[in-house]
Structure 1
Amino acid sequence: MNNIYTNMWKSFSSGLESGNYDIDLNIGDINDSRRGLSILGYIDENNDEVGDNISSFIDRVMSIEPEQYGYPVTELHLTVLSIITCFSGFSLSDINPQDYNKIFYDVFNGLPPIEVNFKGITASSSCIIIQGFTSCHSLEVLRERLRVRFSESNLMTSIDSRYKAETAHCTAIRFCLPLRDRYKLLRLCERYREHDFGVVTFRNFELVFNNWYQNKSITKSLGKIVLNNSS
């Protein structure tokens, strides 16, 4: 996992130095009809202190780059798995949500909470993310169980169609306009490269119908579960 983050950082930092970064033109577009199905855990619902710590970093970024998209604290999340990757025109009427809910509950029922240490930042060419690390293989095992159960079903899925979920990151900033001062932004990111935002013990998970950016104004919760320490 650390190697993935390190390689991303090297690409991001060299890209900012040369002005090679990407802008997402779909943020805020009311005509963006991309929708999907995901399983996630909201950070503030599991540890509001860590949510506030990440928000403080976002505020620092936004003070340099106020025109970019910074995730509000209520939308900061860990994506366990994208069951249906967002695509244009997908709607809930295309599926039976109860079928997906059954697998969601069956796989999560009886599992212990999952701890993620959010430490340091890295980035892709179009977004800045908070690095997440697990102390054991619990998240990896959970994802594999979900992959197996959904692959055995006849349900519509597109798991791992973009990339295989391997990290425990949280997206914090998306670039939606040209950067004002990419060098100042890079220096700020360097200062947070190893910053410890804290540990989140994820107990609350949701199956959601979502847009590309997981905006809560569009997201619909299809199922919720709370994991117990005694499991």
Structure 2
Amino acid sequence: MINIEYYNKLYHDSVAKIQSDNYELDKLIDSNDDRRFGISLILRPDESIKERIQNFLSKLKSVEPNQYYYPNSDIHVTVMSIISCYDGFHLDQISIDDYIEAVMKSLNSSESFDISFKGITASPSCVLVQGFMENNNLNLIRNRLRNVFKSTQLEQSMDVRYALRTAHSTVVRLKENLEQKQKFLDVLKDFRDFNFGTMKVDTLELVYNDWYQRVDKVKTLYEFPLV
């Protein structure tokens, strides 16, 4: 499957970069001047999966406590970044009802689907939990979203950064130089194939969000039940 190949390449390429100190630090996480906001359609892993993720994160925290670790409230999978976060975007610039209507049209008769969270991968700046779709429903939803929004005059920036094809969840962001790099990589290796659990996705959320989906910055605009 494309997801496995993608995740494997990402992992090996990123570990090599981390080992050679070519990783990237996020300098905006602690900034009070970060005003990047956007609109996303997301799903949230269930509590049992999030608890297993926190167990994994606790192992990483024990060797690298100064990185940014996602709390349960912020862990999510992006179904589609409808308006990618940018500096200065505010809700009063758009008609929320028009966006809700467009998403509702995209999700018409969309069925619930299963996602299995198994193993971790990495990027040069993040650690991600791998998500695998049990069927093609999520991709169908994404394609409908693309088609519906392209037929409107609504502001959107889907696929501008990259076309979403996976169901991963970012759970760690590097913000400080790694002090125990090898131990950090050893923990990643230990959880490379760890089974975090499988869940049925029966609700999607349209949210106004900052770059990190922090609970104190996120505003839920609408929840969409799936059939």
Pairwise TM-score range, normalised by the shorter structure = over 0.9
Q: State the SS of the aligned residue for 1:200.
A: strand
Cα-to-partner distance string for 1:163-187 (whole Å, 9 max, x where unaligned): 0001100011000111111111111
Deviations 1:189-230 (A, max 9, x none): 011111110002111211011111111100111111222xxx
Q: Is the 8 A contact 2:105 2:148 kept in 1?
A: no
Secondary structure of the residue that 1:99 maps to in structure 2?
A: helix
Alignment of structure 1 residues 1-231 onto 2, 5 Å: 1-43=3-45, 47-227=46-226, 231=227
Return the alpha-carbon distance in structure 1 between the equivalents of residues 160 and 54 of structure 2: 30
CA distance in 2, matches of 1:136, 1:224: 22
8 Å contact 2:110–2:137 — kept in the other structure?
no
TM-score, normalised on structure 1? 0.95
One-letter amino acid of the structure 2 residue matched with residue 140 of structure 1: N
Q: What letter is aligned with 2:11? A: W
Q: Give the partner amino acid of 1:110.
A: S
Describe the SS at the equivalent of 1:31. Answer: coil
CA distance in 1, matches of 2:178, 2:218: 28
How does the TM-score come out when normalised to structure 2?
Answer: 0.97
- How big is the shift at 1:67? 0.6
Q: Cα distance, 1:74 vs. partner?
A: 1.5
Shift of 1:32: 0.3
Q: Is the 8 A contact 2:42 2:205 kept in 1?
A: yes
Report the Cα offset of residue 19 of structure 1. Answer: 1.4
Instruction: Say whether the 8 Å CA contact 2:112–2:202 is kept in structure 1.
Output: yes
Percent of matched pairs sharing the same residue: 34
Q: Is the 8 A contact 1:42 1:74 kept in 2?
A: no
One-letter amino acid of the counterpart of residue 94, structure 2: I
One-letter identity of the residue aligned with 1:20: N
Over aligned residues, Cα RMSD in angstroms?
1.0
Give the Cα–Cα distance (whole angstroms) in 2 for the partners of residues 182 and 19 of structure 1. 9
Note the residue ranges of structure 1 that are not aligned, 5 or more in a row: none
1:84 deviates by 0.5
Aligned residues: 225
Deviation at 1:108, TM superposition (A): 2.1
